[in-house]
Structure 1
Amino acid sequence: MSFINVLDQGYVRLVNHMGSDLTVVNAARVSFAKESQELSEKDIRLIKFLAREGHTSPFRHVIVQYEIYAPLMVARQWWKYVIGSSHAEGTGDSMEAWNESSRRYITEEPVFYVPGSEEWRSKPENSKQGSGEVLGTEKGEKLTSELLEYIELGVQKYEAAIQNGVCAEQARLFLPAYGMYVRWYWTASLQSVCHFLHQRLEHDAQKEIQDYAKAILELSRPLYPSSIEELIGKSE
């Protein structure tokens, strides 16, 4: 499997990857001038040790590349994580790359994330962020309808600006931003991927980015079963 649909029109695609659980083991064993040819139970015990004791540099010798199509509200939250992770205690990982499509250069038809009538959530009772229970269908239908109207108006004004000779990089100001889908490549070490998963699979993470994290996990776990199990925990 290399492709998983997320939300209404989004997706995660596994583009490329380098290394395996064996790569992690051999990166650790090079200190003793040793190398394994096949992953053994002894090697798996070493992976457990490395993860448990926080010896994370061997996991940075494994690289994964994804193509992601997600609403801007997800992309910006993801991007802030990527920037922060290179400075986070215990990660030390700057081996990341992010390249995103831009409406300065493309004028393809904009696509927007529109929650269904049963997907709108209430604000939490005891927190300044996050969300609470799902709102009733009646409220949800009204919100979905209002959002669709808002998007339609923005797209009309965007297209009118383009037709009137406005440059694409300014015409995009008329587009409702946070729900608009954007596409990007994310290339990161296995350590960084697992750091992302550990944080964004948590129950208090925003649901939409949780859905993308689940897709990243499903695509990545078959490639690095032992490393991912130890880095993010058996309960995920």
Structure 2
Amino acid sequence: MNSIQVLDKGYVRLVNHMGSDLTIANAARVSYAKESNELTDRDIKLIQFLAREGHTSPFRHVLVQYEIYAPLMVARQWWKYVIGSAHFEGTGDSLDAWNESSRRYITEEPTFYIPAAEQWRGKPANSKQGSGDIVEWEIGHKHTKELMDYIELGVKKYEAALEDGICAEQARLFLPSYGLYVRWYWTASLQSVSHFLNQRLAHDAQREIQDYAKAILELTKPVFPYGIDELLN
């Protein structure tokens, strides 16, 4: 399995990866001009030691590449990990890469995330952000319908602008933004992936991005079973 469906129309796909748990161990061992040819218990213990003691540079020698299709509100939360990874990793630069589809160039049919009636959440009790329990079905149904009507109106205006000859990069202003699905490639070191997972698997993370984080973990764990386990809190 290299693809997992998320939300109503989204997905995460494992595109490629570089290295393995053995790569992590050998990246650390090069300090002593040593190298293993196959993963052994000694390598696993070394990976555990590196993670436990915060020696994280060897985890930046392995990379994972994903294709992600998610609502814009998820994508913009995710993007901060690319911006922040250089500071967090202490490298002065980042191995992370992000390439996203753009409606300056494409005019494929817009797709939107629309929560079902039973998926709308109420305000949290003690926080300015996050969410609480599921609201009553009648309230959820009302807002699902209103969101669908709002999206339909925006799409009609977007298509009308295109038909009038307005350029795609301006016509997209009519599209409701936060629920609009976007597609991108994310390539990141295992350390960056684990940093994302530690924060977005947390109980207080937004529910939608939690679902994507669970998919990232499920796809990554078979590739780096020891490395990812040791880096997760």
- The TM-score by the shorter chain falls in which range? over 0.9
Residues 41-190 of structure 1 mapped to structure 2, 5 A cutoff:
41-88=41-88, 94-190=94-190
Partner amino acid for 2:60?
R
Equivalent in the alignment of 2:203: 203
CA offsets per residue over residues 1-54 of structure 1, 9 Å max, x none?
110000000000000001000000000000001111111111111000000000
Partner amino acid for 1:111?
T
Equivalent in the alignment of 2:18: 18
SS in 2 for 1:27: helix
Partner amino acid for 1:187?
T
1:172, 1:82 → 2: CA distance?
A: 25
CA offsets per residue over residues 109-159 of structure 1, 9 Å max, x none?
000000000000001111010001110101000000000000000000000
Distance 1:30 1:89, change over 3 A: closer
Moved more, 192-201 or 86-95: 86-95
Partner amino acid for 1:172?
R
1:15, 1:213 → 2: CA distance?
A: 16
Alpha-carbon distance, 1:80 to partner: 1.5
SS in 1 for 2:87: coil
Alpha-carbon distance, 1:87 to partner: 1.3
Partner amino acid for 1:97?
A
1:30, 1:182 → 2: CA distance?
A: 41
Distance 1:91 1:192, change over 3 A: farther
Alpha-carbon distance, 1:71 to partner: 0.2
Count of residue pairs the alignment pairs up? 233
Note the residue ranges of structure 1 that are not aligned, 5 or more in a row. none
1:167, 1:189 → 2: CA distance?
A: 37
1:41, 1:219 → 2: CA distance?
A: 24
SS in 1 for 2:117: coil
Partner amino acid for 1:83?
I
Residues 114 and 147 in structure 1, CA contact (< 8 A), matched pair in contact too: yes
Is residue 221 of structure 1 aligned with residue 217 of structure 2?
no
2:104, 2:42 → 1: CA distance?
A: 53
Equivalent in the alignment of 2:212: 212
CA offsets per residue over residues 163-213 of structure 1, 9 Å max, x none?
011000000000000000000000000110011111100000000000000
Distance 1:28 1:197, change over 3 A: same
Among all aligned residue pairs of Structure 1 and Structure 2, give the percentage whose two residues are the same amino acid. Answer: 76
Distance 1:185 1:81, change over 3 A: same
Equivalent in the alignment of 1:36: 36
TM-score (norm 1): 0.96
Alpha-carbon distance, 1:84 to partner: 1.8
SS in 1 for 2:99: strand
Note the residue ranges of structure 2 that are not aligned, 5 or more in a row. none
1:91, 1:138 → 2: CA distance?
A: 51
Residues 91 and 192 in structure 1, CA contact (< 8 A), matched pair in contact too: no
2:63, 2:121 → 1: CA distance?
A: 36
CA offsets per residue over residues 43-74 of structure 1, 9 Å max, x none?
11100000000000000000110000000000
TM-score (norm 2): 0.98
1:150, 1:143 → 2: CA distance?
A: 10
